[in-house]
Every structure is written in structure tokens, then in C-alpha cells.
Amino acid sequence: MLEALLNTLDRDARQQETWGTVASYIPELAAVDPAQFAISVCTVDGQEYHAGDYQVPFSIQSVSKVFTLALALGRLGDGLWDRVGREPSGRAFNSIVQLEVEEGIPRNPFINAGAIVTTDAVLGRQAPRDTLGEILSFLREAAGDTNIHINRHVARSEQKTGDRNYSLAYFLKSCGNLSNDCDRVLGTYFHHCAIEMTTVQLARAARFLCGGFSHQRLIGIERVRSINALMMTCGHYDGSGDFAYRVGFPGKSGVGGGIMAVVPNVASIAVWSPGLDRYGNSLQGTAALARLSRETGWSVFA
């Protein structure tokens, strides 16, 4: 039944009037064909279901912030919360207004400023190369797949057009909320955002946040709950409330069109469609998750 449903979602996505708009700030993302869709689901009983372009790797972008957060919490524990908040921001993903008002403490780890701080926390005194190795290892172990890599062209393009992120980083630095220098932190940040995965890999990688996969104990259950709570309230920038309303389980989107989602104790999910809505979240990806939620009753809200 789930297999049939995923195929329906795939067919539906391809019959919509609009795919949304692909991110255009770097050539590598701008060149992606918007007319693509993929979905993968791993259920706690060990089954896997896929539909659409599930073998096409895409740039996971901000989805990587979830893994960085997991590592930062592993390193600093609750001390991380002295440097970054846990509240929805009520603003765009790259807004600097809130940073000034709240004196350099980003609202949450999923807006750009917050992810820059968690990247700094994971870096510590390590070399960026080692930190990136650590992030990749974590992802590969979570996904059970060594074939996960960083696209260095994408990372370089991000760096070239990353003025707004540099502005955020220097602001954080001026408030004393970065221990490494801005180039070092952003170099690492741009690289982990440039990781490429298929929905198959991403759905598998998300199992550690599901709570029901017995062999997926990369982090403790308390931390799983924490990260899922953050994805629920802050995972989709200023469209987080809408995602919770329409989909009803935790997820994290990226500007590459991917969304990683978790139905606690039931399934882990990855969906991808590169066209975005006005908040920067995948248009058809979100629509598919909304329908999946309705059809399965997987909403955590009843």
C-alpha cells in the first residue's frame, strides 16, 4: 500500500501546474532541472519504499544542519544553548535583524546564523578538513553507505556568492559568538552544505532520529526528541508553522529542494524536488509530504 502511495505522490507531483523556482544564487543549483521528484521511506520494521528520481544525488544544503547540530550537541551538550536559542525566528533564513536585536545569539540552529555557530562549535580547535571528515563519517554511518561526498564545485560557488553569510559571520564574531575566524567557519559551513545524497541515502541517514530502529543508536533518545522538536518548530524557516500545520511531523528542508522528515517510531522519510516556494522550501516536496501525512495518518498531532 505504501508503495502504491509513493507512486501516486510521484505521479501527482509530475502533473502539478508548477514546480516552483529552483535556487539561482549559484550556477550549480540554477542549472538543476526543476521537473524532478523523488521520495524514499524507511519504516521501522525494516522495509524501504522509493519512487521517482530516488537515484539522483542532490545538494542537501541546509538539511546538513541537522547532522551538524547532532555533532555540536555531542560535543558541547546543553552548553550549546548558551550560544544559540531554540525559538522560531519569525524571519527569513538569512535575516540579520534578529542578531542585532538579540546581540549575537541566533534564534535557533537552523537559520543560517545559528548553523554558523553550530559549525564553529563542531570545529572547536580542529582543522576544517578533520571536522568535515567527522561530519561525513557520521552521515555515512547513519546511512550505512560510504558513497556520500561533498561537491567541491558547489562549495566553491557558495563561497564566491556567500557575502550575506560572511555578513552574518562577522556580526557573530563582533558579538564574541565565534571562536574560530570567519573564513575557517564559513569554509567548513559551505562544504557541509555541499554534501550530495540521494533520497535513498537521506531517508536511511534519518533513521537515527526516528527512535524505532533498534540498530540506530547514534545518539540518545533524549537528544533525538530534542532535535525532532527543533525540526518541528524551526525546520522550515519562516514556513515552519505552515509545515507543522500541513504535514504534522518534524522535518528539515534545504534550498536544494530536499526535505528530511521523521515520523517518530514509525518511519524516516526523504523527499526531493528542486523547485522552491517563497520561503525556500521544496514546493512539490512539501505537497507530497502533506498528502502522505493525510493518507497515512502519520501526523503526530492525532
- Could you confirm whether 253 is annotated as catalytic? no
Shortest gap between Cβ of 199 and its own copies (angstroms)? 22
- Could you confirm whether 65 is annotated as catalytic? yes
Of the listed 237, 252, 271, 293, which one is catalytic? 237
Shortest gap between Cβ of 55 and its own copies (angstroms)? 29
Q: Which of 240, 204, 257, 241 is nearest to 22 (CA)?
A: 257
Asked whether residue 237 is marked as a ligand-binding residue, the answer is: yes
- Could you confirm whether 56 is annotated as catalytic? no
- Could you confirm whether 189 is annotated as catalytic? yes
Of the listed 44, 185, 255, 262, which one is catalytic? 255
Question: What secondary structure letter does DSSP report for 33?
Answer: -
- What single letter denotes the amino acid at residue 172? L
Shortest gap between Cβ of 132 and its own copies (angstroms)? 23
Query: Quick one: 103 exposed, middle or buried, by C-beta within 10 A (0-12, 13-18, 19+)?
Result: exposed
Residue nearer to its own copies on the CB measure, 56 or 92: 92
- Could you confirm whether 255 is annotated as catalytic? yes
Among positive and negative, which fits the CA dihedral 257, 178, 218, 245? negative
**Where on the chain is the footprint of its own copies (CB under 8 A)?**
85-91, 95-101, 107-108, 163-164, 166-171, 173-174, 182, 209-212, 221-222, 224-226, 228-230, 232-234, 238-242, 244-245, 248, 250, 264-265, 294, 299-302
Name residues whose C-beta falls within 8 Å of residue 261's C-beta, 6 or more positions apart in sequence.
206, 247, 249, 250, 251, 252, 268, 269, 270, 271, 289
Name residues whose C-beta falls within 8 Å of residue 36's C-beta, 6 or more positions apart in sequence.
52, 53, 56, 257, 272, 273, 274
Do residues 148 and 195 lie in contact, with contact meaning Cβ atoms separated by under 8 Å?
yes
Asked whether residue 158 is marked as a ligand-binding residue, the answer is: yes
Name the region of 248 (left: φ>0; alpha: ψ -120 to 50; beta: rest).
left
Do residues 206 and 269 lie in contact, with contact meaning Cβ atoms separated by under 8 Å?
yes
Shortest gap between Cβ of 53 and its own copies (angstroms)? 29
Of the listed 62, 95, 268, 293, which one is catalytic? 62
Asked whether residue 112 is marked as a ligand-binding residue, the answer is: yes
Residue nearer to its own copies on the CB measure, 145 or 242: 242
Residue nearer to its own copies on the CB measure, 235 or 274: 235
Binding residues: 62, 112, 158, 165, 189, 237, 255
Binding residues for substrate: 62, 112, 158, 165, 189, 237, 255
Active-site annotation, residues: 62, 65, 189, 237, 255
